[in-house]
Structure 1
Amino acid sequence: MNLKKITAIALGAVMTVSMAVPTFAADDVETVTDGKLTVATSPDFAPYEFYSIDDDGNPTLAGFDMDLAKYIADKMGLELEVVPMDFDGVLSELAQKNVDLGMAGLSPDPAREDAMEFSDLYYQGGQSFVTVKDKADQFKSLEDANNKDYSIGAQTGSIQLDLANENTPDADIVSLPKVTDLITELLTGKMDGAFIETAVAESYQKNYPDLVIVCDVPYDTVGSAIGVSKGNDALLKAVNAAIADALDDGSMDKFIADATELAAGQTYEGTLDDNGAVPETDDTAEDAE
């Protein structure tokens, strides 16, 4: 896997400047690299994580997960290092303990507990079934999507893929590595519907008005947690303490507001090329009309 590491300096252009006062000394917690907090993320999940594009076309990693990652690193007195990759790579790298944290809108699914620890919830969300306006009348409920004639999508390795298999087992279920792939397939008519996390679906809807959120998808765990390297109890304790502080001091609310505003502008969702630029074959999202 070609891992591109991004330091906290590269994140600073659009992220909220963290004023977090160190709570845990770096010596109290073991990390993959001394003095650094290494975080794996999948930057195709706005407003959690994505690339914000400036007026000159330069991408900068943004999102409320990334703001929170910087806040946690500052609380621990560590340098933040972010490693962007596909979502299933986040799960794999965390399970192999190649990174300290996985931050990609993770749902604390019990099926993942053998591979990672879960932090306390830092964001309350939900799950949605999405289609396009021309097909909205075909899907009055989830039951309508459970049809062999429909192509239904979800992100590879995600909770949404489990929900697709659970709720639409008779449909032609297609898993794709990035949420942007699902959106493209929906907009080009190659896919009929998709299971997407609600906040992410709402973010895409702002940039692509043809998308329609048809209905909520029942799911027992409504919220997002941080994946923590298995067995690192000191790190888990430090992460939970930082989350509690971010929720108590209002930082998390600001992170979410800032990320939501950025996600409504010029963005790119996916991994960059070897030169750290948006691949020429990919289009960035236009400002919402």
Structure 2
Amino acid sequence: MKKFFALALSLTMALSLASCGSSGSASSGAASGGSASASGSAAATVETVSSGKLTVATSPDFAPYEFYAIGEDGKPQLAGFDMALAQYIADYMGLELEVVPMDFDGVIMEVGMKNVDLGMAGLSPDPSRANAMDFSDLYYEGGQALVTVKGNADKFASFEAVNDPSVSVGAQTGSIQADLAQENSPNASIIQLAKVTDIIAELLSGKLDAAYIETDVAKSYQKNYPDLEIVLDVPYDVAGSAIGVVKDNAPLMEAVNAAIAAAKADGSLEKFIAAANEQASGEKYEGLLDENGNVQADAAAASASASASQAG
């Protein structure tokens, strides 16, 4: 446990919210009116893994949910509407926010091991994850998509076309998209990769023929890589995102759901989503930082390579 928290990235998130232009609505909304009384009682009654803190695991390779926005000084800053909502929830509860970035499958594992309080990574409340975590109310409704490049858009415009052993189909490890790939393309060569950024790079370089990606995430990547094409909406029974809450902590669940309702009611969530989409269209980095808090050199090189490939 001590080793785990030594690796945690503590964030005030105020700078992320300020860059989103919504700091006032989140902070002041959580510190006054109905939210103020709620936060006072929540901080006193909710047990968290670290006293006085709300510890959130995330996978920052999933814009506009969570990613690193690159500032004018060239430094990466954690951003995205999941992260803005995480700060809102912490403020609502009167707790300090601590965010722990990791690979997506690690988010599910750490919540399941009760090393963190919440998992916020565009999580779908799939029943297969019920043993690892409880789920909050839905805070965002999205969709699922099959993505390829423009040159292959006609060729891979149906599930039948990609359901072939000669076709390579990508999906993120441990994700709902991996399940959808197995469900809709069982005969394809399914390649699971840890990061969505890796999937995009493989698509653009031609190493993958198609990929299953969350719709708004795919649209975010399209803004940077216009060669990407969404060819199909993928049917999925659970269309939406929820917060993974550590199991058997009813007071925490109640406080999280109350904060989600408050963020919807006061318009903060809508602002978070709009701001994150705008930020995601600018310079960003998706993936884990190195031990010094910088963009990893090999990841930056891969991104540059993908851009060059797309431009060519």
> What TM-score do the two structures reach when normalised by structure 1?
0.96
* Residue in structure 2 matched with residue 3 of structure 1 by the alignment: 7
Q: Report how far residue 27 of structure 1 moved.
A: 1.3
Corresponding residue for residue 233 of structure 2:
216
Q: Distance in 1 between matches of 2:124 and 2:105?
A: 13
Q: Cα distance, 1:24 vs. partner?
A: 3.1
Classify the secondary structure of the residue corresponding to 2:97: strand
Matched, 1:14 2:1: no
Residues 82, 122 of structure 2: 8 Å contact kept? yes
* Structure 1 partner of 2:115: 98
Question: Aligned match of 1:82 in 94, 99, 111?
Answer: 99
Checking the alignment, whether the CA contact within 8 Å between 2:57 and 2:110 is kept in structure 1 is yes
Q: Structure 2 CA distance, aligned partners of 1:11 and 1:51?
A: 12
Pick from 206, 213, 216 the counterpart of residue 199 of structure 1: 216
Q: Please, which of 268, 274, 280 is the counterpart of residue 251 of structure 1?
A: 268
* Gap runs ≥5 in structure 2: none
Structure 1 letter corresponding to 2:121:
A
Which amino acid is 1:83 matched to? V
Distance 1:81 1:176 in 2: 27
SS in 2 for 1:220: coil
Q: Deviations over 1:149-197 (max 9, x none)?
A: 0000100000000000000000000000000010000000000000000
Q: Secondary structure at the match of 2:48?
A: coil
Find 2:39's aligned residue among 24, 31, 44.
24
Match of 2:64 in 1: 47
CA distance in 2, matches of 1:129, 1:221: 17
Q: For residues 10 and 176 of structure 1, do their structure 2 counterparts lie closer, same or farther at Cα, with a shift above 3 Å needed?
A: farther
Contact 1:14 1:60 in 2 (8 A): no
Q: Percent identity?
A: 64
Matches within 5 A, 1:87-126: 87-126=104-143
Q: Deviations over 1:187-218 (max 9, x none)?
A: 00000000000010000011100000001000
Question: SS of the residue aligned with 2:83?
Answer: helix
Q: Does 1:59 align with 2:64?
A: no
Give the corresponding residue for 2:192.
175
Q: C-alpha distance in 2, partners of 1:74/1:183?
A: 35
- How far residue 261 of structure 1 moved from its aligned partner, in angstroms, is 0.3
Structure 1 runs (4+) deviating above 3 angstroms are: 1-4, 9-13
Counterparts of 1:236 and 1:14, CA distance in 2: 29
Cα distance in 1 between the residues matched to 2:250 and 2:299:
41
Task: Give the deviation of 1:11 after TM superposition.
Answer: 4.8
Return the structure number with greater helix share: 2
Task: For 1:27 and 1:248, locate their aligned partners in 2 and report how far apart those are by CA, in whole Å.
Answer: 24
Q: Supply the AA of the counterpart residue of 2:278.
A: E
Q: Output the amino acid matched with 1:203.
A: S
- The answer to whether the 8 Å contact 2:13/2:87 transfers is no
CA contact (8 A) 1:153 1:194 kept: yes
**What TM-score, normalized to structure 2?**
0.89
Number of the residue aligned with 2:166: 149
Q: Would you say how many aligned residue pairs link Structure 1 and Structure 2?
A: 287
CA RMSD of superposed structures (Å): 1.6
Is contact 2:171–2:211 with CA below 8 Å preserved after alignment? yes
Tell me which moved more, 24-33 or 68-77. 24-33
For 1:246, the aligned partner's letter is A
**Counterpart Cα distance in 2 of 1:52 and 1:265:** 8
